[in-house]
Amino acid sequence: MAVSVATSVAARMIIDARLSMPRLARDVVARPDVIARLEASRARAVTLLCAPAGYGKTTAVVSWLQALVQADAPVAWCSIDEGDDHLFTFVTYVVAAIERTLPGACPNLAAGLHGVDLPAPGDLAEMFLADLARLPQRLTLLLDDYHHIHASAIHQFIASVLRRRPPLLHLVITARALPPLALARLRAAGEVTELDATQLAFSQDETSQLLETLAGQSIDAATVECFQAQTEGWVVGLRLLAARSDDGDARPLFDRERRSQQFLFDFLIQEVLSKLPASTLDFLLETSILSTLTPALCDAVRSQDSSQESAALLRQLVHDNLFITETAEHDGWYRYHPQFQACLRQQLHQQRSAEAINHLYLRAAGWYGEHGYITESLQAYLAADRPEHAADQLERTLSMLYRQEQNQLLQLCWACCHLRWWRSDRRC
């Protein structure tokens, strides 16, 4: 059904800055491997960079596209925000981005926007394809922050264009989650290049380069390894953990880590947590006590009856790149990024009472014990401040531990007993 432009969201004045590539920071780390993958993708129809906030998606594509611009290859850049989630506004910005690079390149699409009625997504796609067929050379169109787009009409417009595989268009999309663009056929044809958090994460060598640049001095290998383990190559996490204060604090990185970690948590709260539905945030907070997650365990902790809802939510969190991944060791198990989990736990302790948190640990301990995860059960009982429950668990499993020579676990159990006896003495 046609939509009257007069009754649609009014076209905003084009913000020219959103049609320009951002400037790179002075301390950007050269990433030849990532650039090589992006350069190799030019022969394909689509390049997708999908990763959580702060993984360097925009920096990577700017580093790559700058070389194309210097070689006089046509590159159109469009930064997307929440206000573009309407077909008319979105296509208006696409036309402006392309015609900023190639003036007059989209006469058909521009005419479609200025008619009495806004054409359907498929019809706009046909107009765009007619324009693309007239281009003098291949165009790279970059849509940055596409995760702001939810309107099905926009997804239909992009999918309709890609379905025809226009030879003179290379579409590059950055987003925090995989967009619903029906790319199965293009993938099967080898026409899609995808980079996710795994490919965009900093290697240990890259982490070392960044830390040394930020610190202004050489960094020992042990410090680099620790930062790499804490962030898993998440570049914003590295930058924020290693951040200097405004007063020029030049103490070693580790001495400043606690305060810098709060910078990182503030970033996650503002960029990620504040934008989630309340039900999703509750799930994240309550399950943040778990080192690894499975749907049944999540339901036990949250006192839910069926694991289907948790299973669906975990899959959705993975799809949305919400700092959660499936573990390589066990199917159906997941884990949070260490810094994301630390932030969630901080929020949990700020928003819930100690008693409520202890009940989460108690329910986790019960599930662990019932399913034979003795170490995890004991640790959860201790976290819940219930050493007597841990000692009871110990009595039920002590002989088995001796037989299996679980020495480390036995030491933990021995500590539980000491704590239980100490508390008993204090009550006497």
Domain ranges in the chain are 16-199, 204-273, 278-406
Per-residue pLDDT averaged across 261-275, rounded? 91
Tokens 């390589």 sit at which residue?
328
310-326 pLDDT per residue, tens? 999 999 999 999 999 98
Better-scored residue on pLDDT, 218 or 195: 195
pLDDT of residue 12: 45
Tell me the pTM.
Answer: 0.82
Better-scored residue on pLDDT, 89 or 242: 89
Q: Both ends of the chain: CA-CA distance in Å?
A: 80
Structure tokens of 286?
């309550």
Q: Residue 416: which H helix or E strand, with range?
A: helix 407-427
DSSP 400-414: HHHHHT-HHHHHHHH
Nearest residue to 211 (alpha-carbon basis) of 254, 246, 265? 254
365-374 pLDDT per residue, tens? 999 999 888 8
Q: Identity (one letter) of the amino acid at 252?
A: P
pLDDT at 424 over 50: no
84-110 pLDDT per residue, tens? 999 999 999 999 999 999 999 999 999
Structure tokens of 91?
């296509």
DSSP 9: P
pLDDT of residue 11: 40
pLDDT band at 5 (very low <50, low <70, confident <90, very high): very low
Phi, psi of 4 (to 5 degrees): -70, 125
Per-residue pLDDT averaged across 340-356, rounded? 96
pLDDT band at 411 (very low <50, low <70, confident <90, very high): low
Query: Is 16-199 assigned to CATH 3.10.129.10?
Result: no
281-310 pLDDT per residue, tens? 999 999 999 999 999 999 999 988 766 789
Identify whether the C-beta of residue 159 lies closer than 8 Å to the C-beta of residue 181.
yes
Q: How far is it, in rounded angstroms, from Cα 372 to Cα 356? A: 25
Q: Identity (one letter) of the amino acid at 240?
A: L
pLDDT band at 14 (very low <50, low <70, confident <90, very high): confident
Judged by average pLDDT, the poorest of 47-61, 69-83, 97-111, 248-262 is 248-262
Q: How far is it, in rounded angstroms, from Cα 49 to Cα 51? A: 7
pLDDT at 418 over 90: no
What SS3 class is residue 177? coil
- Cα dihedral sign for 7, 9, 12, 16? negative
Question: Which are the contacts of 290, defined by CB distance < 8 A and separation ≥ 6?
Answer: 297, 298, 301, 364
pLDDT at 151 over 90: yes
Identify whether the C-beta of residue 195 lies closer than 8 Å to the C-beta of residue 164.
no
pLDDT band at 248 (very low <50, low <70, confident <90, very high): very low
